[in-house]
Amino acid sequence: MRVLITGCGGFLGRSIALACLQRGYAVRGFARRAYPELSEIGVEMLQGNVSNAEQVASAMSPLDGQALDAVFHVAARVGGWGSFDGYYQTNVIGTENVIAGCLEHRIRRLIFTSSTSVVHHRGDAEGIDEQVGYPVRFAAHYPRTKALAEQRVLEADSTSWSNGDGQLQTIALRPHMIWGPGDTQMLPRTLERARAGKLRSITGPVKKVDSVYIDNARDAHLCALEKLVPGASCAGKAFFISNGEPWPINELMAAVLMSAGVSLPTRSVSPGALHAAGCLSEAVSLMLGRESEPAITRFVARQLTSSHWFDISAAKTELGYQPAVSIEEGLKRLKAEFQQRELGPEGSQG
């Protein structure tokens, strides 16, 4: 099996790459910068940007003299701040380039990493399944452009290759709040704010969220790779991916902080005040012309003050996905990683 992973240097992309290597696959990675640690273990790393059609097409050329069997398109611009064009170029144009490259180089399978945010605008999303459509409006450029990209991917299913000898099959996975050892996004930012005393618990009605441990998110992508064969019922569809364990937001945050040995928040904030803070932070950033993301945005405020958990029955039935690592087990592994960091590579302090 020969696979390409865009966004290979990121949290999820790296996990998929390591799993593919363990299976004996030939792995090519595509990322914006070099990752020598991946090259050293056998990943053929190529540097480029998904918004550049020529660079993407080159990355999809034959590997070891043979066409790639599959592409994991993980690369994306994330976050809740920045210009629409910046998100559009990476998330939509980049995805269109990946699709075009698959068709040009006769690649049969495209597994797209989407997001649950493509169907969640405002209010609670409790136990919803894939029958829920896209909202008319979106809370930020990220979910809007990811929704557009997802639609492009699903519409491309069963499209004939450029030479007409075969077809591309596609699938979209919607993982929610990926976390675990090695996280480079959510956990570091949460811990940084907690250590600085800037993190708050949320008051009001209990809101539950479902997350997905990194190993489970990775396994879902490998399940999709295996199931995406000619005539597969999963082709051309999107699937929610999570642990299937909704937790109250405050409890999950507290558990993660305790795993890292970080003190819990001593102050709280109401949902209304958090939304107001998001609006104010955005207004100030716009007024001052700041490019960096504000400490709180309206998008993040909505995520923190609403329930969002999903029915993963379809992924279990059609992909054979089973979340093997529970949240409790994931927290134990996370704690072990933080303890190892404190001890250092030799197992002693320093």
- pLDDT recorded at residue 342: 66
Minimum mean pLDDT among 83-97, 108-122, 332-346: which range? 332-346
Scanning the chain, the segments in alpha helix (DSSP H) are: 11-22, 36-39, 53-59, 84-87, 94-104, 141-155, 186-195, 214-227, 249-259, 271-288, 298-304, 313-314, 327-343
Minimum mean pLDDT among 44-53, 104-113, 162-171, 266-275: which range? 266-275
pLDDT over 90, % of the chain: 66
Domain boundary assignment for the chain:
2-182+211-244+309-325
What is the pLDDT averaged over residues 273-289? 77
- 164 vs 149: CA distance, rounded Å: 24
Q: What is the mean pLDDT of the chain?
A: 90
What is the pLDDT averaged over residues 22-46? 97
Residues marked active site are found at 142
Residue 77 confidence class, pLDDT cut points 50, 70, 90: very high
What is the pLDDT averaged over residues 293-316? 83
Three-state secondary structure call for residue 268: strand
Residues 6+ apart with CB under 8 A from 145: 77, 84, 87, 88, 90, 91, 92
Is 275 or 196 the better-scoring residue by pLDDT? Answer: 196
Is 273 or 332 the better-scoring residue by pLDDT? Answer: 332
- pLDDT recorded at residue 300: 75
What is the pLDDT averaged over residues 10-35? 97
Is 174 a residue whose pLDDT tops 80?
yes
**Fold for the domain defined by 2-182+211-244+309-325:** Rossmann fold (3.40.50)
Is 350 a residue whose pLDDT tops 70?
no
- pLDDT recorded at residue 343: 55
Is 121 or 114 the better-scoring residue by pLDDT? Answer: 114
- pLDDT recorded at residue 63: 87
- pLDDT recorded at residue 156: 97
Is 336 a residue whose pLDDT tops 80?
yes
Is 289 a residue whose pLDDT tops 80?
no
- 228 vs 233: CA distance, rounded Å: 8
Is 288 a residue whose pLDDT tops 80?
no
